[in-house]
Structure 1
Amino acid sequence: MGSQAARLAADACPEHRGGPTVKQLVLSTLRAVHVPFQMRELPERVAIYFHDLEPTQFGKFSEAVGHFLDHGYRTVTAGEYTDPGASGKLLFVSFDDNFQSWHRALRPLDRLGATATFYVNTGVMRDEASASDIAAYFGRIRYQGASPTLSRQELKEIHDAGHAIGCHTHTHRRLPQIDRGEWANEIDRSKAYLEDFFGDEVVDFSYPYGMRRHFSESLKAYCSNIGFRTIATAISGLQLRSFRDPLTLHRTGWKFENSLERNLEDLRINGSLYAALTGRSLTG
C-alpha cells in the first residue's frame, strides 16, 4: 500500500458511520487489492458488532445472526469467545454506545435464541442526563439517527433478558487525547455505575472509536488492573488469527447497507499485515 493511500485512510473511523467519500473510496480500493490474494475460509470464531438498530434493520440483523446460527455457530460472551478451551463454532455479537433501539432489539434476539453483549456509555442515560449532554454525545459519536438513549429501566430489562453488559466509558471520549486523571475517571465511573446498578462485577470493556491509536499500553494495563478481563477493539480483518488475546478482542463491524455476502466476505479477508502496519481496519 502506498504512503499516500495510508495517509488518506488515516482518519477513517469504522466505529461510526459517515465520513468523507474520499476515505470510503480509499478503503474500497485497499479492500479490492486484498480480495484476490488474502481471502480465507470463514473462521470458527467470529466477532461482529453493531451500533444502533432501527426497526427497518431488524430483518437484516436477523438474517446476519441467523446465518451463523444456521451454520452451527452459537452466541457466546466475550469471556467464552476468548477462552482457548472453548469448543465449536462461536459467534460473539456486540453493540457499542447507548441507544434505545437496543431495547427494541430484544424481540429479534429472543426469536433467534441469541445472546449479545452491550457496551454502554453510562453518562447519557435518558432519564438522568440533560438534553444538552445527550446532544453533545450524539455529536461526538456522529450519530444522526432517530433513536434516543436508553433509560435505566430499559438497560435493566436488557440485562434481565440474559444479555451481557460491558463498559464503553462514561461519555465516549478519545482516551489518549485526555490526561490520565480524566481517562481514568471516564473508565472508573462507567465501571462503578454498572456494578452499582446491577450488583455484579463488570469485566468486559470496549474502548471508544476502537482503533489502535485510540488506546495505549498504559490504558490496557490500567483496565486489566481494575478488573477487566476482556477488551474489545473495532479493528476488522483480524478474524483469522489463531491467537486471541482477551485484552485485544478483534471485531468486525456489520454494515446493513451491504449484502450478507459482502459482510461475510469482509470476515474472510486477512487484513493482518494492513492492521499491523497501520493499526486500522481494512474493511471500514
Structure 2
Amino acid sequence: MRRRQFLALGGAAVLAGCGRAASPSSASATTASTTASNAGSAAPTTPAPTTPPPTPGTAAEVLARSTVAALCFHQIREHTAEDGEYARSITTPPAVLTAQLQALRDGGRTPVTAQAVVDHLEFGTPLPEKPVLLSFDDGSETHHSVALPALQALGFPAVFFPMTVVLDKPGWMSADQLRDLEAAGMTVGGHTWDHQRLDQLPPDQWAVELAEPKATLETILGHPVDLMAYPYGAWNAEAAAQVAAAGFRAAWQLSDDTDPTTPLLTVRRLMPPPTWDGPTLLAKLDSEFVTP
C-alpha cells in the first residue's frame, strides 16, 4: 500500500472544648505546654519502603520467554466477488472470528494484553496458563464495529495496530474510535504511516513512517505509544534499530524466527486464515509456540 494511493491519508478542622471556657492566661499556658510536650515527644519519620524497579532480562532470557502465542487479524467482513485469493486469506468473516475466539475460550486459552506480554518477555512477569495475544492490523473500521463487540462479548483484550494515513477516512477507523478502543480496555499501537515495508525503506523515510505516526497516535490518545507492528511482518536489523530509536519498546512481526539479538523487537505472530476451524487453530498454536 503506497503513499500515493491515499488521499492524505480538610480544609482545616476546628476542635472546640466542652464546658466552661478557659481564661486567656490559662489558655496561653496550656498551649505553650502542649507545644513543648509535642516537640519533645515527636519521633523521626521513617521513609516508606520502596520497591526497586524490575531488572530487564538479557536478550537470551527474553528469547527464552518468547513463546507466548499471538494471532494477527486484518479486515473482519464477508468476502466479496472482488476479493482475490490473498485478500480472502487475510479477511475473516464475522462468524468465523466469533468461532475462532470461542475456540480459544473452550480450549483453555487466556487472552492477555500486549502490555502483559511485553512485561513477561522483558521482566519475566508471570502470565496465566496458556496465554494468547490477539492483534488486529491496519485500522479497518470493522475492528471497531465488528471485532470490538465480539471481543467484549467474551471479555477478551486485544491490541490494534492502525496505520495513520487512513484515520478518519471512509472504511477506516477514526480518532474517536481509537479512543473508544482504549476506553474498552484495548491497546493501540503503531503500524507506520502508510504501510511501507520497513526492510526496504529509503533512509530519508524513517521519520515519516515511525516518528510522525507515533506522535499522531500519542496526540490522539493522550499518552505515550511504545508498541508497534511491522507492515507485512517485514523487518531486518536496520528496521529493528530504527524502531528502537523512534522510541518503541516492542514490535511484532509475523512468522519469521525471533531475532536472538533483538527479541523484543521481533516478536512472532501467526495469521489464522478463515478456513481454520477451532481444533485446527488450537493445534497450530501448540505447534508454532512451543513452551520449552
TM-score if structure 1 supplies the norm length? 0.65
Q: How far did residue 161 of structure 1 move?
A: 1.3
User: Which 4+ residue blocks in structure 1 deviate beyond 3 angstroms?
Assistant: 268-272
Aligned with residue 133 of structure 2, among 63, 87, 92: 92
1:181-196, aligned counterparts within 5 Å? 181-196=204-219
Q: Percent identity?
A: 27
Gaps (5+ residues) in structure 1?
Answer: 1-42, 132-147, 273-284
SS in 2 for 1:196: helix
1:58-207, aligned counterparts within 5 Å? 58-82=94-118, 83=120, 84-89=124-129, 90-104=131-145, 105-127=147-169, 148-207=171-230
1:222-261, aligned counterparts within 5 Å? 222-235=242-255, 245-261=263-279
Contact 1:255–1:263 at 8 Å: present in 2 too?
Answer: no
Greater Cα radius of gyration, structure 1 or 2: 2
SS in 2 for 1:167: coil
- In the alignment, the residues of structure 1 paired with residue 229 and residue 97 of structure 2 have an alpha-carbon distance, to the nearest angstrom, of 21
Gaps (5+ residues) in structure 2?
Answer: 1-65, 79-91
- In the alignment, the residues of structure 2 paired with residue 80 and residue 118 of structure 1 have an alpha-carbon distance, to the nearest angstrom, of 15
Q: How far did residue 180 of structure 1 move?
A: 1.5
Tell me the alpha carbon deviations over residues 79-104 of structure 1, each in whole angstroms, 9 at most, x when there is no partner. 32241332322110001112000011
Match in the other structure for 1:45: 68
Tell me the alpha carbon deviations over residues 182-201 of structure 1, each in whole angstroms, 9 at most, x when there is no partner. 13321111100000111111
- In the alignment, the residues of structure 1 paired with residue 237 and residue 207 of structure 2 have an alpha-carbon distance, to the nearest angstrom, of 14
Match in the other structure for 1:216: 236
TM-score if structure 2 supplies the norm length? 0.63
1:149 alignment partner AA: W
Contact 2:114–2:158 at 8 Å: present in 1 too?
Answer: no
> Paired residues, what number?
206
- In the alignment, the residues of structure 2 paired with residue 218 and residue 73 of structure 1 have an alpha-carbon distance, to the nearest angstrom, of 35
